[in-house]
Amino acid sequence: MSLEGYSGVAEKLLKQAGAHIGDYIRIVRSDGKEFKGILMPRYSIKPRPIIVIKLDNGYNIGVKVDDNTVIEVVKTREAILEEARQGAPATIPLLEEAPKPEKRPLVTILGTGGTIASRIEYETGAVKPAFSAKDILEAVPEVGFIADIEAEVIMNVLSENMGPEHWERIVSAVAKRIESGAEGIVIAHGTDTMSYTAAALAFALRGLPVPVALVGAQRSSDRPSSDAAFNLISAVLVAAKAPFAEVTVVMHGTPSDTYALAHRGTKVRKMHTSRRDAFQSINAKPLARIYPFEKRIELVGKPLRRRGEENLKVENGFEKKVALVKYYPGMSSEIIDFLIDKGYKGIVVEGTGLGHVGDQLVESLQRAYENEIVVVMTSQTLFGRINMNVYSTGRKLLAAGVVPGEDMLPETAFVKLSWILAHTSSFEEARRLVRENLAGEIEYRHTLDLFPRWPH
């Protein structure tokens, strides 16, 4: 294996030691400081005297070296991989005496892009484009102790560029892998629109027989505070071992590396720009807590279905002429009229409180109903349930044909409506299906413990 990215004195020292990418090495600098870790590729074209290693705690660092630095190969990559194949525990360096190998589930990691697949230049701090799912696997070898891993990059798309056409490609890729024998699926995805994709998969993959775990990172790989490895290990554990068969989002449950949470794909939202525990279940409990270091999953919520109970039925396809509109004070009815005139088939409105908008929109919403455009009302408050019977404004909207969105998140309602409209041509059937609980998106009973509890 070549010394990818290394040149100058760094390359010379590594060659003298007979080191290769993936070897466990010891570096002793001329100032007496000592470092141990797995030799990683160096992603920079600048000929700097920097050697990148993965420390025992999982973090990557760049070590500056000079001609007087001493490098020793403690364990070769081949020896490490052989011990992994023999079932050695996920510690670095691996134990000399490994237990007997055990059969592991087959898990497929599908790469789509996002921060979890980013890398950093140690000199400049710049984050570089996503690398392959194979590279993710090499960067986080611990997942190989949980499951036998297959990896495939199906796209390299920034989260904000995801759309219905990408959801359809991911659905097809997941279905193909499940049909070929995968016992769990992990999807590496950018965090900003992860909840949209999770909802899309939940509606399109009917009767899932195995778990599907979407995972991302709030902070790019290799930064000291990165959550990438912890989240990926947790997601693989869910895919391999979880008793439920649902689409989930698996991310940090606290700011520290205590546990991850598996959130139902139709009830989760990113609630902070940068916190490691940014994702929360809304109007529902998380499905499970995941303790990756203990390889333990603790159920919290009630699963919709158990692993292996049903047979997969794919109902792929999403209507693109659907809009999500946030109401604001003084909003003009021209916005609704524009969508009607442009031939949109569905509109989800983020209303205020119990599901309200200003009186100035009622006539246009009535016009949408008359044109057989499905309009769904959700709430900007996120927590709680729509109730359009309490105040006169809500009753006017009901009379204008607006469908209450129950306790659905606005983005979940948007994805659901997009999916429904691609699978029925009946206006009344579409309106009925909006209010039907199809993938755990509607919670009929709420308790006080569903309200957010930040800060930790």
| Residues with active-site annotation | 115, 191-192, 270
Residue 440 zone, left/alpha/beta (φ > 0; ψ -120 to 50; rest): left
- Rounded to the nearest 10°, the torsion over CA 149, 42, 29, 125 is -110
What type of residue is 234?
S
Q: What is 47-69 written as a DSSP string? A: --SEEEEE-TTS-EEEEE--TT-
Q: How far is CA 232 from CA 58, 453, 456, in A?
A: 12, 25, 22
Strand partners, 72: 26
d(CA 46, CA 53): 18
CA distances from 349 to 52, 370, 384 (A): 50, 17, 16
Contact present, 207 and 308 (Cβ < 8 Å): no
Of the candidates 453, 442, 414, 413, the one whose C-alpha atom is nearest the C-alpha of residue 271 is 453
Two structure tokens written together for 19: 């080191």
Comparing C-alpha atoms, which of 414, 336, 321, 413 is closest to residue 369? 336
Dihedral through CA 407, CA 410, CA 416, CA 421, nearest 10? 120
Cα 431 from Cα 424, distance rounded (Å): 10
Query: How many Cβ atoms from other residues are within 10 Å of residue 317's Cβ?
Result: 15
Report d(CA 161, CA 237) in Å as an integer.
28
Measured distance CA(14)–CA(75) in Å, rounded? 14
Q: CB of 212 within 8 A of CB of 221?
A: no
